[in-house]
Amino acid sequence: MNKIPEAIRKALKSSDRYPAVFREIWGACARIPKGRVATYGSLARSIGRPRAARVVAMAMARNPFAPDIPCHRVVRSDGSLGGYSASGGVGAKRRLLEREGVLFGDRGGVAKACLLETA
């Protein structure tokens, strides 16, 4: 698990500023280790909401705690990177993942060996 600063840990536990489901998703995202990625769907399943992949995507897009909550480690089910709202867009997301040891296939998607099934 990633080391989460205490202030962020407190915000994830109880805060009216963020929806409870987002806090739950961000907590699950924090458990994705460097060098691995999870899909929006697998992250949704890990919190007991198997049909909430789009909610996971919204939570990632609105993540105020990046990079401590590593939203760049969440990808589409086909291994493609999906979106990235931080500066530099999807190119920056790929560079971050490459620096963490994530491998990519010939078609540009994340290598299956790096996919983490979180549920």
- Residue positions annotated with a catalytic role: 71
> Among the residues of 1-119, which ranges form H helices?
6-13, 20-29, 40-46, 53-61, 89-99
- State how far the Cα of 19 lies from the Cα of 117, in Å rounded to an integer: 25
Distance, in Å, from the CA atom of 76 to the CA atom of 108, rounded to the nearest integer, reads: 12
Number of other CB atoms surrounding residue 83 within 10 Å: 14
Question: What DSSP designation does 62 have?
Answer: T
